[in-house]
Structure 1
Amino acid sequence: MARWKHTAVPLLLALSIVGATPALAAERPATVRTTALTAVQPSEHADAQAGEQSMSSATLPAERQTLLRYARDTWRSFDAMVVPATGLPADYIGGDLAPGSRSGYTSPTNIGGYLWSTVAARDLGVVGAKEADDRVRQTLDTLGRLSFHESSGMFYNWYDPATGAVLRKWPEDGNTVHPFLSSVDNGWLAAALMVVRGAMPARAAQAQHLLDRMDFGFFYDPQGRGADFPAGLLRGGFWDEEPPGCSVTGNYRGRGPDVWYTCNHYDILNSEPRIASYVGIAMGQIPAKHYYAPYRTFPASCDWSWPEQRPAGFSTSYLGVPVFEGSYEYRGLRFVPTWGGDMFEALMPAMFVPEERWGPRSWGVNHPAYVQGQIEHGLNDAKYGYWGFSPASDPRGGYAAWGVDAMGMDPTGYPSDIEGTDVDLGYEGCRPAQPTKPFGDGVVTPHASFLALPYAQHAAVDNLLRLEHDFDSYGPGGFYDAVAVRSGTVARRYLALDQAMVLGPIGNALSHDDIRGYFSRGQVERAIRPLLARERFSAGRSAGTGR
């Protein structure tokens, strides 16, 4: 589900917990200034190291049994979240898995997560082939009956999982919901349909029928970075009825009535909306050169000095699109940042696309460095004793965006602790650094460790085992959603998306990258692999001592 942040990537999953309606921020200026910088070029040796690091270490027998146990228990939470009459999962369920604790809403991302988790559970032997087929068939049947936007084929963001009705009142507080169609949420559902198409021949035609009507070009603004820039950006989404607040009337496909687009674009690369970009490019609905339009970092100048730190990098171009290959530095590691410094932004798309293999000089360097940065933060910087920071439940109640502030572009950061400790590294020559306070009660979410399995498998399993052993963090449906590791406070519930970020990575780790293979074979590989292979990030290990 899309997460809502400044203009780059809305943190809409928070809405699934608190029941607010989307309030998307105003877009950034489209004018881009290029700055000549000293190149920070990764070496060929770094490329070779990245290729080695990106390959998951051989799974030890004990690790395999541990991951299978986690998969079986996690599946119980999905079984409990799904409404039997519709095959739709609720957004969350209470820690005791009681049917009465299911939420009264769901989203395209939750539905997609249930579909790919069912495929993973089948391949792991957690459910039988017939049960998996029956479950997927029922969910696809229900999807075929849900209301959708006729001109684009896109699904609305909130449905009642018990009836399939589009929500117009939030079930928890009665607030008005203005039906919204999200580019990234539809991207996750489309990715799941593509997994089903590849994994279940008997359901392929049914999944393809739903895919055939989805047009991601409806979200693509060719002038998202300005009229003179050679490639555009995706909008956050649109409403088909005029909403309150900021919106932009338009229709990029010229098909059907005009809609009201969000004022924001998705304008940074290392974040979850790239799944919508991958799907749209693979389906031939978005130009391939769009992949190079989102910023790796913003330009390095005082005009852009509001993000977390000054980037270093070099300027180049791909397919005629100018790209500043900027990167950030944290504790001796150099990487392309996410918005909030969290794990799911960086690694959730890699559940489907083998980015580190297709882009050995870009994602093949970045993903291992990013995971190592999270480990460094938890163990050696904040000294929590545990790691894995990503938006999840707040152990005190509700939902919050957790991350490693220094690894994100957001100047106010996604904190790693309950206290909201902010890190301001300054912006060299433009903004001084500020003293950093001691970190407090760190909040670790287990799904972050599962996302890290391809890049640090032994460390991830060790981290999970310690979380399970040291806290009351494991229940009948697997790991509870989050734990504050100094107080021991646990968020005792299960979120559909976060559980899908457990089962998907386990499926890949133990079943020969099955989820990736089902999604990426054929047209996806032909369209996407050359784009990733062409690029070199300014990422890798820094020559400095680190912050």
Structure 2
Amino acid sequence: MIRPYRAALAAALSLTLAASGAASAAAAPSTGLPASAVTPSTITAWSTDTWRSMAAMTDPQTGLPADNIGGALAPASRARYTSPTNIGAYIWSAITARKLHVIGEQEQVQRISRALDSLARLERHPDSGMFYNWYDPATLQLLRTWPENGSTVYPFVSSVDNAWLAAALMIVHNGVPQLRHKSDPLLGAMDFGFYYDSQARGPDVPAGLMRGGFWVEPPPGCSTKGNYEHRGPDVYYTCHTYGAFNSETRMISYVAIALGQVPPAHYFAPWRTFPDTCDWSWQEMRPVGEWREYLDVPVFEGAYRYRGLQFVPTWGGDMFEALMPDMFVPEEQWGPDSWARNHPVYVRGQIEHGMNDARYGHWGFSPASDPQGGYREYGVDAMGLDTNGYASDEERTSVDYGFAGCPDRPAQPLPAAYGDGVVTPHAVFLAMRYAPADAQAELTRLRNEFDSYGPGGFYDSIAVRSGTVAKRYLALDQGMIMAALGNLYGGDILRKEFTRGGAERFLHPVMRIEEFSVPAEQ
């Protein structure tokens, strides 16, 4: 049941709006509507409506959310599958809803308690304590057949999905201590060392990388057999490790370091960009930068340039990769010479693309529902490492800057025009800390110009030239909106509860010593 304590919320927000707006404006000066345009009544509506979608996605018996639900929030439109990420998003959204007075403490505890009880009943990989990727939220059964088309599911244990769930359990430990007896056994069994390939960068680099995950049975396609913890039978790892640092997958590193399960030096092992030699000419463009060393780990502090901005790119050029981990770790505070420089510039690059390069009149690009059906990755191609990075439009318009000095990668002409750009509101909410006025202006435009808002808040995505709207809600995307609102207008609630303990002790010291190849002033 949703209890919108509107009077209490308005009073609480009136005390935090000025402070959060001033801090955000200081981080990234912007143009457009003033930060004060975000009124208590606006935040009340956003948080109440977004939480309504999360509650509607949740099975009342098991307390677990579906992956998505239709735009009318009809129970029959709930997806018949869920993941550890979705469950984590629901748990931290409940904590945010309580902090913003959308629900009361009793309801918060009841909802999280029911979800934890169901988590304890889910089939897990016994030796790592990790959860598989897909379950039926109504029956709690591990999925081996995909409910939408009957295809075979090979149970997979994803490192990044388990990281988001572990983050939620860490927040419960600190923020809802009366439930520690339920959350701590689940968290305590999770061993992220199962994913840690200590030799991924070679024997001369004293820190390794995280695998994407593993199967317990041989899957079709590529896999590599092994067991990094040498506990239990061998598993079948993905053939890839997560080598790009500015990605949502850095949350695996944050959680594993905070739990003391991998060495803090691992923070420096993933690439900021890949090196600037022709051996790495497959990446989007030739980076600028220099080599530095931290804790005996060599780091190429590389950066890309796009429309006069210099920044550390993500893998695909989207907002989710850049800013979702920032919902839990105060990156701009703990990394004053790295993330504090990069995040505002990265947001400005997305705004620049949408408003002045592609000329959509809108911005906010991140993986989301495809307004034409299904799900797709969206981003700013030039701001991602991947040569075939995420495009910002339905037509998949891309760029190829080439790799200067390497004959096999000549630059290609830039696009003459872009097509039907697809923006997603969760990307704008993620950016609000670093461009508050621009974000408020964009959300206002989306609300005024399109049928983009329903009973559960903003719909998942909008194709801005055709006006086509993806009228459904995704647990992950709504969870990101709730996280942004809880931090900005609830005193950084999720950051505070995640970082108390191991993150402050093990992660903070390594983050503060790095300097990105990103100018302090741009």
Normalising by structure 2, report the TM-score.
Answer: 0.92
Is residue 319 of structure 1 aligned with residue 298 of structure 2?
A: no
2:463: which partner in 1?
484
Distance 2:230 2:466 in 1: 55
Distance 1:55 1:109 in 2: 33
What is the DSSP-based 3-state SS (H/G/I as helix, E as strand, rest coil) of the residue aligned with 1:385? coil
Do the aligned residues in 2 keep the contact of 1:50 with 1:364 (CA within 8 Å)? no
* Structure 1 residues 156 and 381: CA distance shift in structure 2, 3 A: same
Structure 1: give runs of 5+ residues left out of the alignment.
1-48
What is the DSSP-based 3-state SS (H/G/I as helix, E as strand, rest coil) of the residue aligned with 1:85? coil
What is the DSSP-based 3-state SS (H/G/I as helix, E as strand, rest coil) of the residue aligned with 2:487? helix
Task: Determine which of 433, 454, 467 is the counterpart of 1:475.
Answer: 454
Q: Report the Cα offset of residue 263 of structure 1.
A: 0.5
Distance 1:542 1:133 in 2: 45
Give a deviation string over 1:264-319, Cα, whole Å, max 9, x none. Answer: 00001000111111111111111111110000000101111111110000111000
Distance 1:448 1:171 in 2: 29
Do the aligned residues in 1 keep the contact of 2:24 with 2:435 (CA within 8 Å)? no
Do the aligned residues in 2 keep the contact of 1:390 with 1:401 (CA within 8 Å)? yes
**Structure 2: which amino acid aligns with 1:442?**
G
What is the DSSP-based 3-state SS (H/G/I as helix, E as strand, rest coil) of the residue aligned with 2:362? coil
**Structure 1: which amino acid aligns with 2:27?**
Q
What is the DSSP-based 3-state SS (H/G/I as helix, E as strand, rest coil) of the residue aligned with 2:273? coil
2:27: which partner in 1?
53
1:266: which partner in 2?
242
Q: Report the Cα offset of residue 232 of structure 1.
A: 0.4
Q: Report the Cα offset of residue 102 of structure 1.
A: 0.6
1:500: which partner in 2?
479
* Mapping for residues 279-428 of structure 1, pairs under 5 Å: 279-428=255-404
Distance 1:197 1:116 in 2: 12
Distance 2:213 2:50 in 1: 31
Q: Report the Cα offset of residue 59 of structure 1.
A: 5.5
Distance 1:441 1:457 in 2: 26
1:521: which partner in 2?
500
Distance 1:81 1:305 in 2: 44
Q: Report the Cα offset of residue 55 of structure 1.
A: 10
Do the aligned residues in 2 keep the contact of 1:395 with 1:484 (CA within 8 Å)? yes
Greater shift after overlay, 525-534 or 104-113? 525-534
**Structure 2: which amino acid aligns with 1:53?**
A
Distance 1:62 1:300 in 2: 43
Distance 1:426 1:244 in 2: 34
* Structure 1 residues 209 and 51: CA distance shift in structure 2, 3 A: farther
Distance 1:512 1:376 in 2: 30
Distance 2:27 2:343 in 1: 9
Q: How many residues align?
A: 495
**Structure 1: which amino acid aligns with 2:493?**
D
Distance 1:51 1:400 in 2: 32
Give a deviation string over 1:197-241, Cα, whole Å, max 9, x none. Answer: 111121123211111000000100011122332210000000111
Greater shift after overlay, 130-139 or 515-524? 515-524
Is residue 235 of structure 1 aligned with residue 211 of structure 2?
A: yes
Distance 2:374 2:232 in 1: 39
Q: Report the Cα offset of residue 405 of structure 1.
A: 0.4
Identity %: 61
Q: Report the Cα offset of residue 541 of structure 1.
A: 7.1
**Structure 1: which amino acid aligns with 2:166?**
A
2:66: which partner in 1?
90
Distance 2:459 2:271 in 1: 35
Where does structure 1 differ by over 4 angstroms across 4 or more consecutive aligned residues?
Answer: 54-59
1:434: which partner in 2?
412
* Structure 1 residues 271 and 450: CA distance shift in structure 2, 3 A: same
Distance 1:107 1:501 in 2: 15
Greater shift after overlay, 132-141 or 238-247? 238-247
**Structure 2: which amino acid aligns with 1:105?**
Y
* Mapping for residues 24-43 of structure 1, pairs under 5 Å: none
1:34: which partner in 2?
none
* Structure 1 residues 51 and 461: CA distance shift in structure 2, 3 A: closer
Normalising by structure 1, report the TM-score.
Answer: 0.88
Distance 1:58 1:504 in 2: 22
Is residue 452 of structure 1 aligned with residue 426 of structure 2?
A: no
Task: Determine which of 175, 179, 198 is the counterpart of 1:222.
Answer: 198
Distance 2:182 2:213 in 1: 25
1:132: which partner in 2?
108
Distance 1:541 1:281 in 2: 28
1:247: which partner in 2?
223
* Structure 1 residues 331 and 542: CA distance shift in structure 2, 3 A: farther
**Structure 2: which amino acid aligns with 1:435?**
P
Aligned Cα root-mean-square deviation (Å): 1.7
Distance 1:166 1:252 in 2: 25
**Structure 2: which amino acid aligns with 1:232?**
G
Task: Determine which of 152, 155, 173 is the counterpart of 1:197.
Answer: 173
2:252: which partner in 1?
276
What is the DSSP-based 3-state SS (H/G/I as helix, E as strand, rest coil) of the residue aligned with 1:483? strand
Do the aligned residues in 2 keep the contact of 1:299 with 1:324 (CA within 8 Å)? yes
Give a deviation string over 1:72-129, Cα, whole Å, max 9, x none. Answer: 1111111110011100100000111111111110000000000000000000011111
**Structure 2: which amino acid aligns with 1:539?**
V
What is the DSSP-based 3-state SS (H/G/I as helix, E as strand, rest coil) of the residue aligned with 2:218? coil
Is residue 175 of structure 1 aligned with residue 154 of structure 2?
A: no
Is residue 536 of structure 1 aligned with residue 510 of structure 2?
A: no
* Structure 1 residues 381 and 475: CA distance shift in structure 2, 3 A: same
Distance 2:519 2:352 in 1: 15
Is residue 153 of structure 1 aligned with residue 129 of structure 2?
A: yes
Do the aligned residues in 2 keep the contact of 1:51 with 1:365 (CA within 8 Å)? no
1:44: which partner in 2?
none
**Structure 1: which amino acid aligns with 2:454?**
G
Q: Report the Cα offset of residue 63 of structure 1.
A: 3.2
* Structure 1 residues 58 and 138: CA distance shift in structure 2, 3 A: farther
Do the aligned residues in 2 keep the contact of 1:369 with 1:540 (CA within 8 Å)? no
**Structure 1: which amino acid aligns with 2:61?**
A
Structure 2: give runs of 5+ residues left out of the alignment.
1-22
Do the aligned residues in 1 keep the contact of 2:332 with 2:339 (CA within 8 Å)? yes
Do the aligned residues in 2 keep the contact of 1:239 with 1:260 (CA within 8 Å)? yes
1:35: which partner in 2?
none
Distance 2:167 2:341 in 1: 24
What is the DSSP-based 3-state SS (H/G/I as helix, E as strand, rest coil) of the residue aligned with 2:124? coil
Distance 1:311 1:68 in 2: 43
Give a deviation string over 1:162-212, Cα, whole Å, max 9, x none. Answer: 011100000011100000000000000000111111111211232111110
Do the aligned residues in 1 keep the contact of 2:313 with 2:385 (CA within 8 Å)? yes
* Structure 1 residues 242 and 501: CA distance shift in structure 2, 3 A: same
**Structure 1: which amino acid aligns with 2:487?**
N
